[in-house]
Structure 1
Amino acid sequence: MLTTVIIFIVQVLNHLSVFISRFSEFNHSVIILEVPLKIIISLSPALLAEMVNSEIDKMKLCIIKQLLVVRGENTRDAIEDSMMYFHHNPFKYTIWRLFTLDMTLILSTIGLLTTYTVAIVQFTHFLD
């Protein structure tokens, strides 16, 4: 559901930027639309990785619930093996083993953009 919304937002921003770029008097508005588009596109893998991580957490919860109600010893061993697999192989999607793609990347990018925007606004009085 969330993926569909993200794709729709990206498509709307793309169509708006194409529409506005046709008119020469609104060329400065294209930048306003292209910047959020580029940010959304660059951060969408992190959002998708976070969505996969939440689905894995739901799977873990389901396995733990099954462990509480299981009766057979073989089934209990299989469930414990799957719990050990999730414990030893956590889902992490990284770029060059340097950046982990998850919600912290999105929040730190938003924080960085906010900080530099505030700094630029504070230094604009030197240009007057």
Structure 2
Amino acid sequence: MREIVDVERLDQMPQLRRALARHSGQLLNFTQLAGEVGIDDKTARRYIGLFEQLFLFRCMEPRFRNPLKRLVKTQELLFLNGGLLAALVGLTIDRISRDRGLFGPLLETLVAG
């Protein structure tokens, strides 16, 4: 990653990836994510753009039948790799069998990706 772009705080990247995994399938709030990791929102936007270029996930625009009725303009975050998402949020077969609610973000990623 260092060869692609000048990353100032490389130690924050794993924390940001885990925070993004917890928000998979949800509306993307850069300020909230940056606050969780301890970086500013401009840096979070830049790092998230880098993750998109590396095809780890994509930010999808809201989908509407009528483009004139777009009330929500916030992007939705979707991981492109279900295995990576599962590893980042700590999903295992045992956890899924105990708590089916944990499977939601992973399932949405597999369907939408």
- TM-score class, shorter: under 0.3
TM-score (norm 2): 0.20
TM-score (norm 1): 0.19
Structure with more of its chain in helix, by fraction: 1
Larger Cα-atom Rg: 1
Structure with larger RCO (C-alpha < 8 A, sep 6+): 2
